[in-house]
Homo-oligomer: A and B are copies of this chain.
Amino acid sequence: MTQLESARMGRITPEMEQVARQENVDVDILVKRVAEGSIVIPRNVNRDLKEVRGIGRGLRTKVNANIGTSQDFCDVEEELNKLRAAVEAGADAVMDLSTGGDLGSIRQRILERCPVPLGTVPIYEAAVRVGSERGSITRMTAEDLLDVIERQAKQGVDFMTIHCGVTRETVERLRRQGRVADIVSRGGAFLVTWMLTNNRENPLYERYDDILAIAEKHDVTLSLGDGLRPGCLADATDRAQVQELIVLGELVRRARNAGVQVMVEGPGHVPLDQIAANIQLEKRLCEDAPFYVLGPIVTDVAPGYDHITSAIGGAIAASAGADFICYVTPTEHLGLPTPEDVREGVIAARIAGHAADIVKGIPNALEWDLEMARARKARDWSRQFDLAIDPERARRVRSQRASADEDVCSMCSEYCAMKIVEEALGGTSASCSV
């Protein structure tokens, strides 16, 4: 039985109990939201998942880190290092997007070591296999796709990106639209190529009921991919993107009817002032399904700094209601990330998520900042490090630029405003008796 089916029957699963504890929310509210579909708890029944995570309404904004080999960098040890970096930096979920090497065995090794939910994009494995065996991904069959989805489900994958919204209808809308960057989703690109070459409908759309049956059996959470997501600001929120979202909304309802947990993926490259509208649109069109955004990246011009462009977009998106942020690393648009890039990307996305959680009113979010403010005021450096989102980096930066006076920092030295005021006023703090 899936988490969704259990919730509908009012059965509280151990996973729901764990999430309720982690999040400090009432388990009855959690069950209600899982039942209505506004919260998902990705956990494959075949998996020994150490740390479950809930994603959706009223919960802390979650962060996903993409790892995985490419044809150019195909070293499973490095990917395991990235996994470790991601988890240590606080990622709530990891996706294995490998396209180089023995994909099944790489996934197995990642699954064994990943304490948090693991996601994949099964069409990558199908495309890579068919490409190498038959010379072109256009020779892929629907059975190839379903076979990969089923094997990955049996292997224990907790959530899968399925690009079912790339249909003949949406591709026609894309053609009429005319875009600057066309398609930047790999899954979308594979499917459009296949559809145009074979003059057929998207097999993931045609065989959606079969996919739902597999997902229901193993409780794989479906993440409905946005194959037509905009790849530049100029293409954002266009008719092709919104058309696909309408289709995804219909597929959300069908998934829920089949007892399958489902979330929806979103852009991408979006100007700052269109982000909130994108969130609201998803929540309406997709009946409050959790929204999983990639970025959004708020400017195209900063390759090398896309962890920052996406932290800006991610914070705005999450504060407007996005539930799950896929990190973007500094290497985005330039190459495959290193473990250090992974770490930077996770921290930047966590900053975005936390800044949003404060204004979403998530339990204990603002309290964290309050504790830090008190430690800062008290110039309790050890406590500041303990509370820092990245204690190790905070400690390193301070020690590299140490002050002769351990009570302050080297920016202001003896002219530390907090210290001066404390000595002059004895503090005006609410906690002080003035």
Q: Which residue of the partner chain, among B181, B336, B351, contacts A376 with CB atoms under 8 Å?
A: B181
* Chain A residues within 8 Å of chain B by Cβ, number: 117
Contact B302 A390 (CB under 8 A): yes
- A99-B415, A334-B398 in contact; A428/B348 too (CB < 8 A)? no
Contact B401 A305 (CB under 8 A): no
- A347-B305, A366-B233, A401-B336 in contact; A412/B186 too (CB < 8 A)? yes
A77 to B134, CA, bound (A): 64
Contact B359 A189 (CB under 8 A): no
**Candidate in A180, A334, A420 with the most chain B CB atoms within 10 angstroms:** A334
Contacts of A330 in B (CB 8 A): 397
Contact B369 A233 (CB under 8 A): yes
A398 to B306, CA, bound (A): 13
Within 8 A of B (CB), among A394-417: 394, 396-398, 400-405, 409-415, 417
Contact A410 B70 (CB under 8 A): yes
Decide if A182 is an interface residue (CB 8 Å cutoff): yes
Decide if A27 is an interface residue (CB 8 Å cutoff): no
Q: Which residue of the partner chain, among B99, B304, B354, B428, contacts A394 with CB atoms under 8 Å?
A: B304
Contact B387 A434 (CB under 8 A): no
Decide if A430 is an interface residue (CB 8 Å cutoff): yes
Within 8 A of B (CB), among A117-132: 124, 127-128
Decide if A9 is an interface residue (CB 8 Å cutoff): no
- A99-B413, A185-B417, A305-B393 in contact; A370/B298 too (CB < 8 A)? no
Decide if A325 is an interface residue (CB 8 Å cutoff): no
Q: Which residue of the partner chain, among B192, B234, B372, contacts A369 with CB atoms under 8 Å?
A: B234
Q: Which residue of B lies closest to A73 (CB)?
A: B410
Contacts of A299 in B (CB 8 A): 351, 354-355, 358, 369
A51 to B126, CA, bound (A): 57
Contact A232 B376 (CB under 8 A): yes
Contacts of A95 in B (CB 8 A): none
Q: Which residue of B lies closest to A193 (CB)?
A: B424
Contact A233 B358 (CB under 8 A): yes
Contact A177 B428 (CB under 8 A): yes
Contact A333 B376 (CB under 8 A): yes
Contacts of A431 in B (CB 8 A): 178, 180
Decide if A247 is an interface residue (CB 8 Å cutoff): no
A338 to B398, CA, bound (A): 12
How far, in Å, is A311 (CB) from chain B's closest CB?
Answer: 5
Decide if A273 is an interface residue (CB 8 Å cutoff): yes
How far, in Å, is A171 (CB) from chain B's closest CB?
Answer: 9
Name 25 interchain pairs, CB-CB below 8 A, sorted by A: A71-B413, A174-B428, A180-B429, A180-B431, A188-B417, A189-B417, A189-B418, A189-B420, A193-B423, A196-B424, A233-B370, A272-B356, A273-B359, A298-B315, A300-B373, A301-B354, A301-B388, A302-B388, A312-B351, A334-B398, A334-B409, A334-B411, A335-B400, A335-B411, A337-B401
Give the 6 A-B residue pairs with the shortest CB-CB distance, closest first: A335-B401, A232-B373, A71-B413, A178-B430, A189-B417, A72-B410
A298-B358, A299-B355, A336-B411 are known contacts; what are 11 more A-B pairs with Cβ within 8 Å?
A175-B434, A178-B434, A192-B424, A197-B424, A232-B377, A305-B390, A308-B308, A308-B351, A331-B397, A334-B401, A335-B398
